[in-house]
Structure 1
């Protein structure tokens, strides 16, 4: 049986705390280099639902995102459109295809109103050389690989509720919009898509969200989640892990 919400703060286990939110590219490079990227691109606005780039297309540009939340998706061979991640301001989108000179491996869609600077591939490659960004881009890519591995570990190890709590805490730190003392996550996806990201059915995703809501760890909207306190959500995750271990 789950412990009452009031006891959650007493069971912290530092070695099992949810991983820190990964840094974005903006935090990995000098301010001058980021400003150079922005000044070399064309400022564009994207309405909710609009595509920023399409899977399979030639990598003709990258986008430096300065406002809003986007959803990264992949079209699978069996016809599913699977959400992979949400990204926020400070992200660079589409750089892998440009650096490897390969077609896009995923699509990117605006979840909220977004603003970004579109930078042609040739210009971006020149900026990378001029600002000596190769090392920073390598660390950025490695950081994303570690993030993916942490997510896969959670899928293998955690209970459904802990899996959902860990994922929402991660998103709150990564793309959450701070509103007073709480943080709002604009998901841009329904419960079935959320379930796909966490390898659970729509019904299980709804059940997990309902359990966290009943504990007052989250508040649910149609396509957004409000997290009153991210640290408390983290501590719920560690308590669930302790009970499993």
Structure 2
């Protein structure tokens, strides 16, 4: 497996806070290697490089001696899945109501790539933990050495700046793994992970996880999963830099609904306050309140004290999806 060692020709991506660079996202994958240089990583959605001076957050990739990200060349090995208009891989869901039918795109998690039997074997290696809504699964700066497999619930991956600002890096849900970046005993968490709902999880020591991958011939599937995470994270960070507030708010609401379990009774209830939405998107609370009012006026959200999605199709239209 080859690792990327090139610097992005397009420079750092502001929305990622200097974590990654981007080149050719959305283009057909092709070999951009040159004589005397290492081959760049090849993705179905394009080619991605990370700057040498940056380090990506937990849940995005592994470190290597050439750059902060180690991702193998996996063109031809990614599963054949549908993609959204943003180029994000999804699996199809189903539902009995019109609302359920509209929520038809769910990001592909590690469980889907590993298979139910493999996922069950992985969970047997971990220690059972439960996290209440609003509690941290891990904090930025803490020692690593373990990762967390999500059995149920949704979490938000947060980056914190030195001056105290908070940025939403990504959302994850049941079937995902978080915390895989800080693998060594002396490594530190590069992001925080907080429970959105009550979460059930398995805490797995890193050495046991990697032994599982080897013994179950799952190294390639895990590499595919890391690439899928990149293809999901980068577009979501791009919106922070170039999308208007209306689209950013609508997309976050849509993603929260998409990640909710299909059998969750209140899956269309947004579990974040307007203040939390504002902090996650880097917007003023008043701006988020204005966009919520707009979405209610068009019927995308229902009226009332809480934020509830009333029409997914209208919400997708506001989100530009």
Shorter-chain TM-score range: 0.7 to 0.9
Q: Partner of 2:187 in structure 1?
A: 102
Structure that is richer in strand per residue: 1
**1:184–1:225 Cα contact (<8 Å) kept:** yes
Q: Partner of 2:318 in structure 1?
A: 236
> 1:90 and 1:99, CA in 2 relative to 1: closer, same or farther beyond 3 A?
farther
**1:41–1:120 Cα contact (<8 Å) kept:** yes
Q: CA RMSD in A?
A: 3.0
Q: Deviations over 1:75-104 (max 9, x none)?
A: 211122333333221111212222897321
Higher relative contact order structure (alpha carbons within 8 Å, sequence separation ≥ 6): 1
For structure 1, the 5+ residue unaligned runs are 1-14, 240-245
**Aligned residues, how many?**
223
Return the alpha-carbon distance in structure 1 between the equivalents of residues 311 and 184 of structure 2. 39
Q: Deviations over 1:34-83 (max 9, x none)?
A: 11111111212222233211222222221111122222222211122333
> 1:29 and 1:192, CA in 2 relative to 1: closer, same or farther beyond 3 A?
same
Task: Choose which of 213, 225, 229 in structure 2 pairs with 1:144.
Answer: 229
Return the alpha-carbon distance in structure 2 between the equivalents of residues 124 and 77 of structure 1. 32
Q: Partner of 2:70 in structure 1?
A: none
Q: Does 1:161 align with 2:246?
A: yes
Deviates more, 1:202-211 or 1:42-51: 42-51
Calculate the TM-score normalised by the size of structure 2: 0.61
Q: How far is the alpha carbon of 1:160 from its aligned partner? A: 1.8
Q: Partner of 2:309 in structure 1?
A: 227
> 1:134 and 1:74, CA in 2 relative to 1: closer, same or farther beyond 3 A?
same
Structure that is richer in helix per residue: 1
